[in-house]
Amino acid sequence: MRTKRILTLASGVLLAFALASPSVYAQPYPSKPVKIVAPFAPGGLVDVLARAVGDRLAKSLGQPVIVENRPGAGGNVGADVVARAEADGYTLLMSSAGILTINQFLYARMPFDAASAFAPVTVVADMPMLLVVRKDLSARDVKEFIALAKETPGGLFFGSPGNGTTGHLGMELFMYATGLKLQHVPYKSAAEAVQAALAGQTATMFDNPPTVMPQIKAGGLRALGVAAKERMPQLPDVPTISEAGVPGFEASSWFGLVAPAKTPRPVVDLLAAEVAKVLKDPEMQSRFAQSGARLVGNTPDQFAALIVEDRARWEKVIKGAGIKLQ
C-alpha cells in the first residue's frame, strides 16, 4: 500500500509539473511552426504588425512563424479560428481592441465569448485617436470646438468609416464625456470619411494617426487634440484632449497577441517575453513610430487588466448610444 501511495503521489507531481512547464512537453516548446492569424485583409496595420513581429519572433523561437489572413465580420472570423484552436501555443491571434472589447456589444450574435475565449499574451502596439476638423472650421482648439458644436443648430456633422468602427465610437465617447450631440455620417471606408471632411461635407472626425496624419501634414485637416495621456512626438504642438479641456479623456486603438484560452501559462509567459524583446528593436520602433504607433510589450496580466477596463468603457458607450450591427 505504501509503495502504491508513493507512486500515486509521484505521478501527481509529475503531471502537475508537466502542466506547469513547457520544457517538459514531449518536445520543448516550440517544436514546430507557429501560426499567427491576422483577422483583417493583407496590407492593413494588423497584418503589417503580425508579419513584422512574426519575422523576428521566428528567429528568437527557432521555428517558422506563419501569418495567415482570415478577414471578415469585423475580425470575428479570424478570431473564431483561434478561439477554436488547440490551446498549445501554436495558433495565435493578432487582435484589434475591437475584437476583444467592442464587437460583443455591437453584434447580435458572436461565434465566441471574447471575455473567456482567449489568453492575453501582450499588447504589441497602441496609438491614440486624434480629434481633427476641416481646415476652414472656425474652432482653433478643443474648447472652441465644443462651444461651436453647442451653438450649431442640429449639431455638427462628423464622418467615420462606418457604424461601430473605432472612428465612430471614439466620437461617441467624446460626446459622452462632453455632453455634445453631433450628427454621425457613416462612410464605407476611412478614406471616404477623410475625403468628405476635405470636401466640407462634414466638419470633423475622430480616427487613428495613419488615417488622418497625411492630411494634417498637408494642411487639409487640423488636429485639435490627442486622446492620450501624453502628446504625440509626431505632433508636439497638439495638446492632449485632457489638457485642452476634457480632463481624463483617452481613446486609443491597440493591437495585441492572444492565444486560445487554457494555453499553459508558461507558454504564454515565454511568448510575452520574446515578443517584448522583439518590440525593443530600434528599427521596429522607428518603423511604426512613423505611423503614430507606440510599441508596447507589456505582461499578460497587464494586458488582461486593460481588456477588462476597455470592455467596461465601450459597453457603456455602445449601449448608451444604442449602436447595433447585424
What is the percentage of the chain residues whose pLDDT exceeds 70? 92
**Helix-helix angle 265-279:45-61, to 10 degrees:** 110
Count of other CB atoms within 10 angstroms of residue 135: 15
pLDDT at 5 over 60: no
Secondary structure class of 118 (helix, strand, coil): strand
Concatenating the DSSP letter of every residue in 299-324 gives -HHHHHHHHHHHHHHHHHHHHHHT--
Alpha carbon 262 to chain centroid, angstroms: 22
Distances (CA, A) of 31 to 23, 52, 199, 264: 11, 21, 55, 15
Output the pTM of the full model.
0.86
Q: What is the mean pLDDT of residues 122-145?
A: 97
36-92: pLDDT as tens digits: 999 999 998 999 999 999 999 999 999 999 999 999 999 999 999 999 999 999 999
- State the pLDDT at residue 291: 84
State the fold for domain 130-226.
D-Maltodextrin-Binding Protein; domain 2 (3.40.190)
32-127+253-321 maps to which CATH number? 3.40.190.150
Ramachandran area for residue 41 (φ above 0: left; ψ -120 to 50: alpha; else beta):
beta
| Higher-scoring residue by pLDDT: 20, 186 | 186
Cα–Cα dist 258/272, whole Å = 10
- State the pLDDT at residue 26: 58
Q: Please tell me what DSSP assigns to residue 75.
A: G
Check if 32-127+253-321 and 130-226 are the same fold. Answer: yes
Cα–Cα dist 288/291, whole Å = 5
Position of cell 479570424? Answer: 78
**Lowest-confidence region among 26-30, 162-166, 240-244, 295-299:** 26-30
92-127: pLDDT as tens digits: 999 999 999 999 999 999 999 999 999 999 999 999
Concatenating the DSSP letter of every residue in 253-288 gives EEEEEEEETT--HHHHHHHHHHHHHHHT-HHHHHHH
pLDDT tier, 13 (very low <50, low <70, confident <90, very high otherwise): very low
- State the pLDDT at residue 231: 95
**Lowest-confidence region among 19-23, 101-105, 320-324:** 19-23
What residues does each domain of the chain span?
Answer: 32-127+253-321, 130-226
Average pLDDT of the chain to the nearest whole number: 91
- State the pLDDT at residue 154: 83
- State the pLDDT at residue 118: 99
Q: What is the mean pLDDT of residues 22-46?
A: 85
Cα–Cα dist 163/188, whole Å = 9
223-260: pLDDT as tens digits: 999 999 999 999 999 999 999 999 999 999 999 999 99
Q: What is the mean pLDDT of residues 270-275?
A: 98
What is the percentage of the chain residues whose pLDDT exceeds 90? 86
